[in-house]
A and B are shown apart, each in its own frame.
Chain A
Amino acid sequence: MSDIDAQAAEWAVRVDAGAIDQAERDALELWLAADARHRGAFLRAQAGLRLLDHGRVVSKVLPIPSRPGSRLARTPARLVQGTGWALAAAGVIAVAWLLSPFHDFRTETGEQRRVALRDGSVAIINTDSRVGVNFVGRERRVALRRGEAWFQVAKDRAHPFVVDAGAVHVRATGTAFAVRREEQGARVVVTEGRVVAWRDGASATLLAISAGQEAFIADAAPLPPTAQPVRTDDVLAWRRGEIVLGGETVASAVAEFNRYNERKITLRDPEAGRRTIVGYFLIDQPQQFALAVARMTGGEIREDKTGIVIEHSQQKAGLP
């Protein structure tokens, strides 16, 4: 509860008790005059007391329930925030125990898979990805051939956990991080602990990446890569089935949606593609995202069986 609400409740109770003097009355008038929000909160608090007074009318008719409920403990925020992981915990995501030390996993477009590895580590494999596991040697090796995966690595100092993403390699002992294979290199995002990364041909140059940081390691870069701070919850929102856009260009957001959906979005307005967008979207709702882009840029969307087209609108006067 905000301070304003708390103060409003105090004032409402004191006014209701009828025990305030002229000085307090003036203080209340001042408080109310100071901020429109104070007047709103005060009205709400007075209405709350009034609502309770209505209990008086029926108290002779209805028994007062005596057992305290637990509803006070719940807040809407917690209910909603809990939903995503509750779904995950309820088994929406499949868990596959591996008996063999070798295993290949493949996800289709729009598919995500949670895999429990036999060393106790967990991998969440994102859309359109290929991951191979090899736990035979002294190292636990995972080949990310395509796409993206997040790993929660079980602690085992004797057997380092190494992800090979083309020419880029990431080593951890007990930590959590994501690797995304892109055209020119690999992106690493660390959510817990610390990893080291290097690339073929420059294996003496180790880059340390800590929790809350990301780094893009190019297959062949003129400059050594650096780690940057990043909002890991946002860039890894795909694990909750979301895409969080924090000022990316519309064009790159379209590309991101197209990773997840067979119904591809085509943007026929290059100018709109350079605009930036902020928002929370559901991965599997590309038409809603397209509608948002159209609204924002004054464009129009056209849908057919194969996909969604965002076009420049002729009459821009129709903006909301």
Chain B
Amino acid sequence: MVLFPPAERGDEADVNQSREAIIDWVALHILPHEAYVRAWLMRAMRRSSDVDDVIQETYCQLAELDTIGHIRNGRAYFLAAARSILLQRLRRERVVRIETVTDMETLRVMDEDPSPEQVIGARRELERVLGLIAMLPPVCRQVVELRRIHGFSQKETARRLGVTESVVENHSVRGLKAILKALESDPGDVQDAPASYERSSVHVRH
């Protein structure tokens, strides 16, 4: 795996470009759908720690990809990958929760026929990014805005805020963690998010 800018490892420029392309693709076509996929898994698995594990394993698979050119619909791909990991786990553990089966039927249809409505509008996506930044605590938010929105270097950001670079780094890490956390639960594609899980099971008479 190659992680560094091409200038520093010239002979691997092509590989780096494809790594950059994958990061870009994950940023725009996978990460925004994480809350959706989590909600779907949550209906199937119930326990959030199980969901975390499946999501984690899905990103592992994505990290092993060499190219993303063959993938048409990010969300359908994400769902299909998560589903196959879920199935492996269910088989391995002999844990059967049948809510899964129902949803898999729905999912199968979705895989074959991704409708245009399932793709988030780019503009809405960007509004959402700005919304996420706005939710950060004040100092953290300033750092993230200067670094990401205004594109200042870490050094320049530190100078402007009158703090050390390591303070800027710490706030950047904190901000990134908060935003990744928010992406877990904040469905960007509200209009076609999966129906919230409802327990229809309490039969009670008055």
Chain A residues engaging chain B, CB cutoff 8 angstroms: 1-2, 4-6, 9-10, 12-19, 25, 28-29, 32, 36-37, 39-59, 62, 64-69, 71-72, 74-77, 79-80, 83-84, 87-88, 92-94, 108, 110-114, 240-242, 277-285, 288-289, 291-293, 295-296, 320
Contact = CB atoms under 8 A, between A and B. Distances in A.
A303 to B, nearest CB: 14
Contact of A280 (B94, B97, B135): B97
Given A71-B185, A79-B185, 4 more contacts: A48-B183, A51-B31, A64-B130, A293-B96
A291 B98 contact: yes
B95 interface: yes
Contacts of B22: 43
Contacts of A18: 5, 154
Nearest to B51: A76
A15 B28 contact: no
Contacts of B183: 48
Tell me which of A18, A28, A279 has the highest count of chain B C-beta atoms within 10 A of its own C-beta.
Answer: A279
A289 B97 CA distance: 8
A52 B99 CA distance: 35
A240 B201 CA distance: 8
Contacts, number: 251
Contacts of A67: 134
Interface in B149-174: 149-151, 153-154, 165, 169, 172-173
Q: Give 8 nearest A-B pairs by CB, closest first.
A: A241-B201, A40-B59, A40-B60, A77-B48, A50-B27, A47-B26, A292-B98, A94-B206
Contact of B52 (A2, A58, A281): A2
A69 B148 contact: no
A29 to B, nearest CB: 8
A88 B184 CA distance: 27
B64 A114 contact: no
Contact of B96 (A92, A240, A292): A292
A12 B23 CA distance: 11
B123 interface: yes
Interface string B181-206: 11111100000000011111111111
B126 A277 contact: no
B101 interface: yes
B111 interface: no
Nearest to A124: B204
B96 A279 contact: yes
Nearest to B101: A291
Nearest to A282: B201
A45 B176 contact: yes
- Looking at A32, A88, A108, A280, the one whose CB has the most chain B CB atoms below 10 A away is A280
Nearest to A70: B135
Nearest to B31: A47
B149 A55 contact: yes
11 contacts: A9-B180, A39-B60, A42-B63, A44-B31, A54-B125, A72-B178, A241-B199, A277-B96, A288-B98, A288-B101, A292-B101
A76 B42 contact: yes
Given A13-B169, A295-B101, A55 B148 contact: yes
Contacts of B67: none
A67 B141 CA distance: 12
A239 B197 CA distance: 18
B109 interface: no
A284 B31 contact: no
Contacts of B172: 13, 16-17
B149 A83 contact: no
A71 B98 contact: no
A60 B103 CA distance: 42
